[in-house]
Structure 1
């Protein structure tokens, strides 16, 4: 069974050359480390009203700089969506700055996040998808139906590493078609983590690197698990599973560029 690896090195000030990161900003408050995610990403998209968040919130995260200079520096490459949330002055500002605007108001069958993920996959057709990781800021919090819609995108693009990020934790999907290794960054992650079966029972789940490891454990919507990382492990492995793991941050320093 093929291995999928995950690491949160994007939360560190310097990162290895792999994987290739793309960033999608949704219409929720930016995490305090959003400038760090922006720095590490090679492609930055705003999903519709996510552009309002970049325009409004980035200057607040960098209060010692002029708002105009911050907005010029943190200019999205693409704004994509049905354009029902972005403010007119924000759209005009970024359009004048050279941002690519893609109006898909005729498509009401997919969410703005779905549209952005599809764009990223088309943007990198020759890139090995195992080397691509999509970071989604503003994916958690706010309306619950929006959160569930974002999780649905994880399931629709299950072969792509997509990480939903908030100020407090991160979520991604572990499809049962692969074995999984999660490389923990012990200076910023843990000790709490959770395993939540999604869509169907997980069958037989086996883990290593947790305080209470699971050995061929059956998980269903009636029995998710809240667990602890053991002794700040460098790696946690999971097999035979279709789960949403959640990992909390215990310390997260912001390193401005």
Structure 2
């Protein structure tokens, strides 16, 4: 597999932890380009993180939009939501594969399909077992009851995803919260959980949040029940990105 150029729009609070999460999750063979919204200047600038340049986006092989600690706000109240939608439009126009994570998934589904997120009574927070609903390159190598971490205060309901035209729902928790969906054309992946998190990811989030709940099913900070899911998922996603890159190269040769 040739080196892939993957952009990451970093919206998470702890930018350095997010950087290390994705470096670790994506492994070698990937050249990462880190961006923050122009409309959201950094309080602590980092030399590795640059303002989003939409002119650069068409040169990328794929784009990741991370989660953000703002999922209890309406999209209209998020001052950089408009910039995110501009990015989504450029990605769509150039058929660039996307991985939209947690709030990024909700924002993309709202923009692309008009779906609305709903507030959860309690934060969905912990490591949960899942059921695959459909066969997909992203799920076919995962075992029954595979584990993935979730950390959010809102959802797009499973029923809304199932009823929407153009979306395939791939995996849900035992309590019927979505984990993974894709667009029918396969270009867009919507990951509601945080498979990029390293071993201490849930507990690190707990430490940042005042009066937040402790993660369920992850009582021991040294436990890492989603490690194999993480490796399998990101390997599969990068393979799809590589296939898309090769196909596009053959069409333009």
TM class, shorter-chain normalised?
Answer: 0.3 to 0.5
**Structure showing the higher helix proportion among its residues:** 2
**Larger relative contact order (Cα-Cα within 8 Å, sequence gap ≥ 6):** 1
Question: Larger Cα Rg: Structure 1 or Structure 2?
Answer: 1
Q: What is the TM-score normalised by the length of structure 1?
A: 0.38
